Amino acid sequence: MSQTIQLKRAYDPAASSDGYRVYIDRLWPRGLSHETFRYDAWDKSLAPSTELREWFHQSPDTRWPEFEERYRAELLANPAFAAFKAEVAAHPVVTLLYSSHDRDHNNAVVVLHALT
pLDDT attached to residue 84: 95
**pLDDT, tens only, 37-96:** 999 999 899 999 999 999 998 998 899 999 999 999 999 999 999 999 999 999 999 999
Statement: the pTM of the whole predicted model exceeds 0.75: yes
CA 89 to chain centre: 15
Residue 18 C-beta-side C-alpha neighbours within 13 Å = 19
pLDDT tens by residue, 11-38:
999 999 999 999 999 999 999 999 999 9
Give the dihedral sign, CA 104/21/49/80: negative
Number of domains in the chain: 1
Handedness of CA 45, 23, 38, 20 (dihedral sign): negative
**Count, residues in the chain:** 116
* Domain of residue 11, residue span: 4-115
